Amino acid sequence: MNASVVHQMDAAELTRMILEREPLFILDVRNEEVFNNWKIEGQSVEVINIPYFDLLDGVDEFMDRIPQDMKVLIVCAKEGSSQFVAEMLASAGRSEVYYLAGGMKAWNEYLHPVKISDLQGGGALYQFLRIGKGCLSYLIISEGEAAVVDASRLTEVYESFARQAGARIIHALDTHLHADHISGGRKLAEKTGAVYWLPPKDADEVVFDYSGLEEGQTLTVGSARIQIKPVYSPGHTIGSTSLLIDGQFLLSGDILFMQSIGRPDLAGKAEDWVGDLYTTLHKTYNSLAEHLIVLPAHFGKIAELGDGGRVAAALPELFRSNPGLQVREESEFREMVTANLPEHPNAYQEIRQINMGKLQPTEEEQREMETGPNRCAVHDN
């Protein structure tokens, strides 16, 4: 096999191609069930699935399914199978053949920073796009200090970014007790000396010390005094708390997304919490300033990514366009939400236990628990 013409593509380059809408053909060689559950998507990406074991006898019978005029990227779970298949395609005469370095394992863990805006009091707000998982986290920097909101467990990314900006992380905040991914908030606080903030109504069972994130407080970042104001907004969890940043942005956690709304059932209390969700969306959020830009903790579809990968929208626009906000009568809203709950996130019960401090799995176990898409929304399908 002529491996010299096989190229490696990392998750950062793949993300760049997707965000810049460069044409790409992906051959995913994982088994069909895994592929159907979770795959790489993009508006200029064409994806097919041919399981690795169907390719062991050669690629000749599949060559007509692979275009000649596009870059071809082979994807598997951890890299090895995709490299082997890429070498077979190269030996069969295909040029511009790539394999994804680290496979879907690496894709699941890559975080891409996107600058959202400069802030009025000085400093800037950044969104970290975990494109393979659909998770969003945030970093606020001002005058040598920083705060991280809804951090993933991949805390070195935020530490490195803040360090390069000459900033010290002083706050790590979670808008709620997460169930779809392992929070890095407490870990980040322990590593940097920051204060870890968590809504106390979500912390009844946690076994570690934290500072209560509650409405009425004002946290500041930097000498420019960027303000972070909590807004109690239950519904996804009983403690869910949104954050007003610098009077311009609403970090909505898992309450409101671009094309969907948060699900109320991941603690087994859908009937109890759906009323809170209605109140938060149609009363609390509806009473907030109209100029606010909503920045959620997740996205469900690649089409929700805007320029440069930004996931953001004006609050009034979401009230006009978001399907989950169009049902305004409470009884109909309750029925709509409880009738459209998707499959649960992978290992969500164990992830909640980890985020309470009750389980301490290995790094590899954590990685396996987080495999697959987030499923925190009612209307992602």
- pLDDT tens-digit series, residues 309-357: 999 999 999 999 999 999 899 999 988 888 877 777 788 899 999 999 9
DSSP letter at 330? H
Report pLDDT for 242.
Answer: 97
Q: Considering the candidates 6, 29, 76, 251, report the single residue annotated as catalytic.
A: 76
pLDDT, residue 267, reads: 66
pTM of the complete model: 0.94
The pLDDT of residue 345 is 78
Distances (CA, A) of 296 to 4, 74, 102: 43, 31, 28
* Gap between the Cα atoms of 291 and 192, Å rounded: 34
Residue 34, SS3 per DSSP: helix
Q: Answer yes or no: 135 catalytic.
A: no
Token pair 């990685």 is found at 367
**Which H or E run contains 294?**
strand 293-296
Give the tokens for residue 62.
């599949």
The pLDDT score that the predictor gives to residue 374 is 82
Pairing state between β 249-253 and 241-245: antiparallel
Neighbours of 60 (CB within 10 A): 9
| Segments of the chain scoring below 70 in pLDDT | 1-4, 224, 266-270, 379-381
